[in-house]
Each structure stands twice: as C-alpha cells, then as structure tokens.
Amino acid sequence: MRKIASLLALLLAACGPAHAQWQIQNSGTTADLRGIDDVGGGVAWASGTNGTVLRTEDGGYLWQECTIPPGAEHLDFRGIQAFDANTAIVMSSGKGDLSRLYKTTDGCHTWKLVFTNPDKDGFWDAIRISGAKTVLMIGDPLPHKELDRLKVKTYFHFPLYGSADAGDTWMRLDTNNLFALSDSKGNPTEFIFAASNSSLLEIEDHRMIIFAKGGVMPSLGQLEMIDKPNPMLCKSPCAMAGSSRIPLKSGPTAGAFSVAVDDPNSPDPSLVVVGGDYANPNDHAGNSASCFRDTQLLIAGRFDCEASATPPHGFRSAVAYDAASKTWITVGPNGTDISTDDGRNWRALHPDPALHEPPDADRDWNALSLPYVVGPHGRIGKLNPHALQSAPTQEK
C-alpha cells in the first residue's frame, strides 16, 4: 500500500504544472545584493551594500564572503563582472568619487582600485564584460557646454567608458554624442537606473552598444559601429548614435530598467526590455516591451518596440534569456514571470508547495544572471534546472 501511495505521488508530481523554483541559498550576509554574475562551471560572483562581495566555486553550495576592498566599507556595489574564478571587477554607484572600480586577480583576497569617477556630479550605472579583455561601463548624463546657434548652452550626454586590458586602465569612449534630454531649467530628464546592472549590452557581434533609459522618455540608446567592431579600436570617430522609443511608463521613478537579448551575435536580434515604476511595485502598466530590428526605416540603430500584450505582474528590475529553453525570465519585488514568445505575453511563476518551497521564493529579487538571482537582505536564489524545460509554449 505504501509503495502504491509513493508511486501515485510521483505520478502526480510528474503531471503537475511547471513552476519556476528559486532554490534559496545561504549567502552568509544581510547586505542588499544588486550585482550578480555567473561565470559558469559552478563559479559566480555577487555584490551589494557596505562593500560586500561574495563568490562561489561550487554552484552556490557555499558562498564565500570576500575581503572588502580598501576604503569601500560604506560603498554600494551595484555591479560586478568576472572573467573567471580569480579575476573580477566590482563597481560602486554613488555621486562623484563614490563611483569606483576595484579589481581582484587572486580570488578576492586582495583588491586594487583601478578607476574613480573623475566627474564630481557623475554617477555610474552599469558595467559589462564584452570580450576576452574588453569591458564597458556607462553612467548618468553629464553636462557639457556646446555652441548652439551662436550661443553657449549646456547639453547633457551619457558618458561611456571602456577598457581593453581587462579593466586595468579606462578611457572615455563617447564623444559627447550620447545625447540626454533636459528641461527648461537645465536639468537632465533622462537617466539610467542602477537597479540590477543589466541596462547595458553589446549586440550584433559587438557592432552596437545598447543601453536602457528611464525618465521623461523611456528609450534604448545606442552607439552603432560604422567600420570597426569595437569603439576601443577606433582612432577617430567611427560610430553613429541613435535612440529608439520604448512604450513604457515614464517619470522620475519610471522607465526602462533592464534589457536582454536572445542572441548577441545575430544580425537580427530580439530584445526584451522591462521596468515600470519602482515607486509603485504592484502596478503592471508599462512595464515590458519587445523590440526588433526596424527593417522599414534606414535609421542607424533603429528598433521597433511594442508593449507586451500580457505584461508581467508588477514592476520588474531585471530580465534574462535562457537559450536552452528559449524562455525569458524577469524578476522584481512582487514576483517572477516568464515568457516564451519574446516578451509579448508573460505568466507569473509561483513557489511549489509540493517541493516545500518558501511562500516568498518568487519575490523580493533585484538582479539576474541565470541561474542565479539576488535581492535585499542577502537573498540569493538558484533556478531549478528543470523549472523552465517544461514551460508551455505560447502562440506567437
């Protein structure tokens, strides 16, 4: 009788609905985590408040609390990118010199300060490894005085930085051509959210840099290479800047927070952008869009973006693509959603009581680097490897 009951339980579990299970891990910290980077082979790095950096080499079974970089005890590490188990760069976000980059080459036993924000009013938002030794970083708009109809006027531009030696040295890549809108009082009304370190991408075989913007006019900013694959190889201006509108909620606390791509090397990539209004986390209006290459208009960097027909169930701070299951996954304070039709329709995923998951396993998340997710108070989750494999296919 006991064998029959056990067999019945197994059959019911096999036939039950698929759920995305975030397996909660022990991080050993209470810091708020916003940076996460999965290197592969069981190696991942995470970062957060109070100079916190974590590392795992065994798939998250044990998270090691790293040595705090010198002078970083009160810094907010919003982004981290790693080359391997020993080499990583962590980015702090803050006004002026509170935005810094530290690098380790010995598995986070020691750190070196490699770059400090040179602009007293600057603020860094996202960092991303883009090649074997190349790294990109972008920040909020900076003022720059330019000639405007014979008058000097202050315009704002997003600063883009790059490194060609694995983060040891950094250079300004843009030539004040990543324009940012401003109001009649001379204040910028476009910005980048440093919520999940996922607002910056390189796509189309490194020929286009994409970044997600919020504020008065949510859009995708882009820098498209004309004759070279990477701006760090340019000896003279070799790029065209552009922008594509995104139908997301606008405002001082709203816009695009995260952008992901299905295939960064494709000449015709699909992008998904998520966000909304972080001040209203349960509002699902204007929080997701699908973007595709515009084949009708000959405008450099142009994407057509359409709002999701069935949006995620609230504000979302991060989105990622799982190539194995062809599934998009997005997270935020009030839950997790997935899409199998390039972000046109989303469905909520909930903890599975049969697996004894915590009832809040799907929520309170900030950032993604699959299979990992991180959140406030030291929360780290790891996606069940079978969770997305049986996700139902949605009509396109």
**Residue 250 pLDDT greater than 60, yes or no:** yes
* Helix H or strand E segment including 13: helix 2-15
Q: Domain ranges for the chain, please list them.
A: 22-383
Residue 12 has pLDDT above 70, yes or no: no
* pLDDT above 80 (res 145): no
For a pLDDT cut of 70, what percent of the chain falls above it?
86
pLDDT band at 2 (very low <50, low <70, confident <90, very high): very low
Continuous segment of H or E residues that includes residue 380: strand 380-383
Residue 117 half-sphere exposure, CB side, CA atoms within 13 Å? 25
The fraction of the chain above a pLDDT of 90, given in percent, is 72
Q: Within its chain, how far is the Cα of 105 from the centroid?
A: 24
> Cβ–Cβ contacts within 10 Å for residue 226, how many?
11
Neighbours of 84 (CB within 10 A): 12
In whole angstroms, give the CA distance from residue 35 to residue 48: 6
Mean pLDDT along residues 152-172: 93
Convert the pLDDT of each residue in 180-221 to its tens digit: 999 888 889 999 999 999 999 999 888 889 999 999 999 999
Domain 22-383 has CATH 1.10.540.10: no
Q: Are 167 and 80 in contact (CB under 8 A)?
A: no
What is the band of 242 on the pLDDT scale with cuts at 50, 70, 90?
confident
**What is the C-alpha to C-alpha distance for residues 65 and 27, in angstroms, rounded to an integer?**
8
* pLDDT score recorded for residue 3: 42
